Amino acid sequence: MPLTMVPLGKEAIVNVCNAKEATKKFLETLGITPGASICVISEMGGNLIVNIKGARVAINRGVAQQLMVEAC
């Protein structure tokens, strides 16, 4: 399921990223790689703030929809 479906505060595991090449690359640099655990901290109109490896990253809705995760 896409990251946007994850309820606030629930942890999930990153599965696959369908975003554009450059965006995907940047997300990977930030630690959003397959198998990483990710948690949604806050949501605003579909835009998210997530916790990834202890850092807080803002992701807009479009990208979040392309980021597939699995519930854990």
> Considering CB under 8 A, how many residues would be counted as binding other proteins?
41
* H or E element at residue 41: strand 37-44
Which of 62, 69, 70, 72 lies at the binding interface for other proteins (CB under 8 A)? 62
Compute CA distances 8 → 26, 32, 43, whole Å. 24, 18, 8
Tokens 């519930």 — which residue?
Answer: 71
Binding mask 8-27 for other proteins (x = CB under 8 A): -x-x-------xx-xxxxxx
**Residue 57: CB minimum distance to other proteins, A:** 5
Residue 33 or 68: the one with the smaller Cβ distance to other proteins is: 33
